[in-house]
Structure formats: C-alpha cells, structure tokens
Structure 1
Amino acid sequence: MQLSDLKNLKIAVVGAGYGGAAAAKALSLLGADVNVYEQAARIREAGAGIGLRPSTMNRFREWGIFDAIAGVSSPSEYFQILTPTGGPIMKEAWPVSGEQTHTHLIHRGDFIDALLGVLPEGMVHLGHRLESVQDKGDSSVLTFAGGESVEADLVIGADGIKSVVRSRLFSDKDPVFSGEHAYRAVISVDDAYGMVVDDDLRMYIGRGTKIYLLPLRHRGQVSFDITALCPDGTWAPQVTKDDLLATVEGFDERLVDITRNLDMDTVNIRAVYDIDPVDTWHSDSVVLMGDAAHSMLHHQGQGANSAVEDAGALADALRDAASVPEALALFQATRKPVTDKLQAISRQGWAEDEIDEVFPGQKPAAAAAKD
C-alpha cells in the first residue's frame, strides 16, 4: 500500500498479548494509527519460561527492539531430551541465524512487559472487554462492555484461544481438550539440586509425563514445567501436591524433590487446549492472528513464536499489497499453511501406545483427531 494510505489507516487490535503487542509495534512502524484494546484491567502473564526462536528475534531486530528483548532473556545453545532418570536420548543444537541470533529463553512475564514497554504511551487501552464486532465491509465496529464503540478500517483479532472475534465472525467451534494438564512454576536455580548448570533446555520424558527444565539465567531462576496426561478437561482443574508427585513417580529423585518442595500457591495449573484449524481468517476489514487463528499445543514451543511471525507477516502484507483486502488474503496465504502444519505436529505430543497404556479406552481428543 502507498505510504499515504498506510498513514491514514485506522487499526484496532483486540488483545494485548504477545501477538497483539507485536502487531501493534510492527504496524505502528508503518505509520498506521494503531490502538490496542485489552479486556484485563492489568496485564500479567503466569510464571513460566518459553523459547524465542531466531526468526522471532530477527523480527525484533527488524523492528528495532532486539535489545529490549535480549536484555531480559538468555541465549541458549542446545535442547536435550533425556529419559526419566537422565539418560541421554537426544542433544540437538538450536537453530541459529547467522552469527548474531540465537534462540533466547525468557520468562513470559518479562516478555510481555518488554513488548508493551516499546509501544507508544496511550496506545494500549485496558479494561475493554469486547462484546460484539460488526463487519461493515470496508470497516468494522467494535462494541465493548459498558457501551463504548470504536470503528476501524482494520480490526485485528488477537484475543486468544477464546477469541470473541473468531466466534462472532469466523468459527463457533469450541477449543479442543488435549487430554493433558500443564503444571508450571518458576523456582530459584539454587532449589534445582544442581540440575541447571548451563543454558540448555532439558526435557525428561517418561510414561505419560514430560518435565521441562528451562533456565532463566538472567533471573537466577529456572522454569519447572510438568506436562502430564489426565482425562479431566476442567479448564482450571483442582490439583494437589500428591497429584503432582504421582505424575513424576519414577523420575530422577532430584526432579521428585523439586516437585515435593513446590509451593502450590505459585504453581500455574491448567488443562491444555488448542483449536481445530479455522478455514478462513479474514474478511475485507477483519483478520485473526495468533492463538485466535491457530492456537496450538505447546509441545513444539511455537505458540508465542507463531504470534510474532504473524505480526511480521501481516505488516509485510499491508506494505506490499495494493489494498487491505488483498493484504489480508496475502497474509492468510502466507501464514496458514505454516500454522496448519504446526498445529498438526503439536498434536502429536504423545505416542498412542502411551495414551492407551495410561488411559485404556480413553483416547484424548487430540490423539483421536489423528485417526
């Protein structure tokens, strides 16, 4: 699009998570008038670590915010997969882009704070819970709880797995339970019994359970994550310390001790969901991105990375296409084949023989979807 057209473009982003914040940064650099509307009165991410891939970090370099992200993260060289008792299965170097860009490990809270911190003051509007979206063709109207309405040339639905934008305009399918729970906490490196000695991400895999140790060296901490098979699909299940200990039975005794010493008030507990692929992400003035478009299971570590890649691809499409509708079509054509594949791969988190062994006759939905 012409520079003058981009500067006259009024964009409303619904959701101030990773994807929404990244899109706001990328699109504001094009000169567009961008506002972000977030339902929460305060933005905070549950404590856990994630890995930012080189392609994601290169987007930050492109947008001039690499240092802001690198300053609250640590570069990592290797990803290791081990048996429950620490026997080696695989050690693989993370992909590297040139000599400069490595995978970086970061705390979710630090990540969102850094992204929001590089946005212009006043761009993000908190306490705006979306109730409806009216697609008028060449523009759309958002109506929030309390009656406030906003009209924009382009609405970006970056409002997560329970997206209101998606459910109102593109798909009314509910999220899909994976048959797993995730238990996540951040602990001091000193409380990790000497298991964290470098910046390698380690995954210990056993019968129905994976334990991740993700170093956050810049914080002197480590993200301790347990993913375990469980048929309880309650969104925020009630889980006891004994339940957690049962999932790590047979693992290295140091991992068991870490679990035993967890403060349950600090453990983020959730059932794990994704969504089925959405056929169409856009109209002429509304588009989905991030988890709203392609929420995926966390086994490949691609959720946040995909959201940032979406933001970059959407900005590229708006810059290169002749109009907003053409840009949205180009964006979907570029990103949907990639995310469809990642969604499918991420659903292959457990071997079917493990599932049948742990839950005879209770194959979780994500596994059934592969049949």
Structure 2
Amino acid sequence: MVDRARSTPRIAVVGGGIGGLAAAALLHRAGLPNVVYEQTSQLKEVGAGLVLAPNAVRLLRRLGVLDHLLGSAVPLDVGWEFRRWEDGRILSAEDLAGSCERLYGEATYTVHRADLLNAISSAVPAGSVELGRRLTAVAADGDTARLTFTDGSTVEADVVIGADGVHSTVRGAVTEPSPATYSGMCAFRAIVPADRAPAFARRRAQTLWIGPGHHLVHYPISGETAVNLVAFAPAGDVTTESWSATATVEEFLAEFAGWDPRLQDLIRQAGTPGRWALLDRRPLQRWSNGPITLLGDAAHPMFPFFAQGAAQSIEDAAVLARCLADDVTAPARALQRYESLRIERTTRLQEISHGRAHVNHLPDGPDQEARDAALAAADPLVANGWIYAYDPDRAETDAAV
C-alpha cells in the first residue's frame, strides 16, 4: 500500500495559458511534478501586448526565464504618459528609465503575450503538458478530485488548479460564481507594424490617450517591430466576450472621430482589430474547495486598466507553489493558505481597476480639469509601490509572523 499522506501529491493544472504554465513551471521548480491539461491543440496566446511591471519581472527572473524573454521585450523609458484626446497634449508622464530598478530592482517591459507564454513554457518539462484535453467537469471526493474530459476519459488528482480563464469550468466546483453583468464598455485590440506607425507611437513609452467615454493605449512590442493598440469605448450592442471576435478599422475609427488626427492615422494602419465586450464580475468570496482551487482570471478577472492581469496570475502561481511545497502532506490546508495570502490583494486590484474606467472617461468639464491637475501632480511609480514592490516569498513570511 502507498501511504498517500507521505507521497508527492498528484497535481493537475487545468489551462495552458500564462497562469497555468507559470503554475506548472513554479511547481516543478519547487520539486512538485504536475500535469497541465490544455483544451487547444497547441500552446498559444491570443490577444497582443501587455505590460510587465517589476512585480512580474521579479518572478520571471527567479524562474530563470527572463533572459529568454529579453530578446523581444521592450524596456520602457516612459510610462503613464497621459495625453488629452483632442490635441495630444501631454498631461503627465513618468520617467521609468532607471527609476524602476532603483525603487523596485527591476525594469518595466512591454511584450507580446505569445513571447511571454513561450518564455514561461521553456521552464515546463517536456511531456508534462497534454493538449486537446477539454475539461467538462471536476468534482471533489474527499481528499481527491476527479476530472472528466470531452473524450470520456477521467483523471484523479490530489490537487486541481483551475487556471482555465474567465469562463472557468473549474470555478463551478469551488463556489457559486457571481453572475457577470454588462459593463457597457468594449475593448478594441490591434497591432501596427512599426514601419507603418508614426514616430510618436514607436517610442519606448506606454501612452494613454484619455477623453469623453473612451481611452486608447499604445506601446511598442516584439523587439520594437510592432506597436500594440488597445482601446476602450461604449459597447453599444456588442455583447460577445471573446478575444476571437473582430471589428473593422472603420468601426474602430468611428469611435475616435474628432480625436487628434495623429491618433486616427495610427488606427488606420491597424490590421483587423479584435473587439469584445467587457463584462463586470464581482470578486469571489472564496477560491478553494478541498483539493480544488483557482488561479488567475478564473479566480479574479479584472478590468485591464492597471495592466496587472498576467502579473497577478504569475504571483498566484508563485504563492501557490510555495504553499504546496511547505505543506505537501496536507494539500487542502495548503490551498486554504494560498487563498488567504492572495485574495485581499487581488480583490483590491479588481476594485481599483474597476474604478479607473470612470476616471479615464470623464467628459470635458470641471471634473476632467481636476483629474488632469491631479495627474500632473502625481507620481504613479511611487504611489503604486504596493503593487510593484510585492514579493510572494516575503509576503508569505510576513503573514506567518
């Protein structure tokens, strides 16, 4: 007989995106074998660019994959460059070159999501990812859980990590999810080749154009060979929440009619833009149920206005791996510890990300003028130190005291 209390737990990770592969890699680094079950036929990331702040970069360096990423990542010289919608006037900007390393030990980068996924996957052992495995159900049975897939096969595990995104199947085995509500906003995404982008968009800067009911963000990615665009606008009758949904350049342009002509010129160079509805979800009250837990968007989907979605998934993975490694004989207890260490922080980020939409989209008038004055006086790099200085190892130790 095998003494299950003394053996290494069988760990199943559902989802092979950034959060799921980060969990797999960090668990492997902690000496905990695991298997990733991914529903698609290949590991890939949809979408386009993202910002990697120091809290995420720190963990990628610790995992040993940062050098893999640096060939395509773009270090930012300027962040939070807010521009006025009608004329591009700079309202505020933060000098990041050198400041991030001085304050937080790491720079801030922009990357293509696919490049980040490839870097993280390089730390996942070959053979530990099973593709084409779409989960249909998971249920706890005492100290173990059973996963059922579309082909009828089943798997038993001592730990199930639901990293299966905003439409998580695993979440239904953990808690009654809060129903999504209509936010009234949609997102556009597009990539412009650098040789077709105007000079102001090719700079190593994260720029946010803000105006009535809308805002648009752009920055270089992919070794400065492309410019990533992401914009937010009233959703109208758009209700599809899928990164595969598309719009036309003409529809994208129509949302920014009357804005600075330079910005419209940038939009005109975009390929087929993606467009999907932003649905609103309240923070969950719990993430874990016995041997089953959640990670990343499955646990805490958030509006992208603080650019922390991927970073929080990686942080989750680091804390989860640490908790399981420290309490390997009692996985359910380790999962509760993980939840208790993470839920307050991610809930706070969900809430402030939610509130940022209103601030960015103020109509012209006294409130907008007060906002612009506040932006000019702000130091977001310092003010958001609670986000960027976070270290999962130190957070876990501090909580134990």
The TM-score with structure 2 as length reference comes to 0.82
Shift of 1:201: 0.6
Q: Measure, in 1, the Cα distance between the counterparts of 2:222 and 2:35.
A: 34
2:331 is equivalent to residue 324 of structure 1: yes
Shift of 1:176: 3.2
Unaligned runs of 5+ in 1: 358-371
2:5 is equivalent to residue 10 of structure 1: no
Between stretches 137-146 and 230-239, larger displacement belongs to 230-239
Contact 1:74 1:104 (C-alpha < 8 Å) held by counterparts = yes
Q: Which residue of 1 aligns with 2:253?
A: 245
Q: Which residue of 1 aligns with 2:395?
A: none
Q: Secondary structure of 2:143's match?
A: coil
2:169 is equivalent to residue 175 of structure 1: no
Q: Secondary structure of 2:254's match?
A: helix
Q: Measure, in 1, the Cα distance between the counterparts of 2:153 and 2:124.
A: 23
2:217 is equivalent to residue 216 of structure 1: no
Deviations 1:123-146 (A, max 9, x none): 111111111112012111101001
Q: Which residue of 2 aligns with 1:44?
A: 44
Deviations 1:58-93 (A, max 9, x none): 111212222122232121132111111211111124
Contact 1:7 1:33 (C-alpha < 8 Å) held by counterparts = no
Which one of the candidate residues 71, 92, 96 is aligned to 2:94?
Answer: 92
Q: Measure, in 2, the Cα distance between the counterparts of 1:146 and 1:126.
A: 13
Q: Measure, in 1, the Cα distance between the counterparts of 2:299 and 2:175.
A: 9
Q: Which residue of 1 aligns with 2:278?
A: 272
Q: Secondary structure of 2:200's match?
A: coil
Q: 1:54 to 1:126 in 2, by over 3 A?
A: same
Contact 1:45 1:112 (C-alpha < 8 Å) held by counterparts = yes
Q: Measure, in 2, the Cα distance between the counterparts of 1:6 and 1:22.
A: 26
Q: Measure, in 2, the Cα distance between the counterparts of 1:93 and 1:6.
A: 52
Q: 1:20 to 1:353 in 2, by over 3 A?
A: closer
Q: Measure, in 2, the Cα distance between the counterparts of 1:274 and 1:123.
A: 34
Shift of 1:150: 0.8
Q: Which residue of 1 aligns with 2:235?
A: 230
- Using the aligned pairs only, state the percent identity: 33
- Matched residue type, 2:31: G
Q: Measure, in 1, the Cα distance between the counterparts of 2:122 and 2:275.
A: 28
Q: Secondary structure of 1:348's match?
A: helix
Contact 1:6 1:31 (C-alpha < 8 Å) held by counterparts = no
Q: RMSD over aligned Cα, in angstroms? A: 2.3
Contact 1:76 1:103 (C-alpha < 8 Å) held by counterparts = yes
Q: Which residue of 1 aligns with 2:120?
A: 115
Between stretches 302-311 and 324-333, larger displacement belongs to 324-333
For these two proteins, the number of residue pairs brought into alignment is: 352
Unaligned runs of 5+ in 2: 365-401
Q: Measure, in 1, the Cα distance between the counterparts of 2:227 and 2:359.
A: 31
Q: Measure, in 2, the Cα distance between the counterparts of 1:42 and 1:116.
A: 12
Shift of 1:179: 1.6
Q: Which residue of 1 aligns with 2:20?
A: 20
Contact 1:210 1:226 (C-alpha < 8 Å) held by counterparts = yes
2:346 is equivalent to residue 339 of structure 1: yes
Q: Measure, in 1, the Cα distance between the counterparts of 2:159 and 2:58.
A: 26
Which one of the candidate residues 301, 312, 317 is aligned to 1:306?
Answer: 312
Q: Which residue of 1 aligns with 2:65?
A: 65
Deviations 1:80-112 (A, max 9, x none): 111112111111245724585211110011111
Q: Secondary structure of 2:316's match?
A: helix
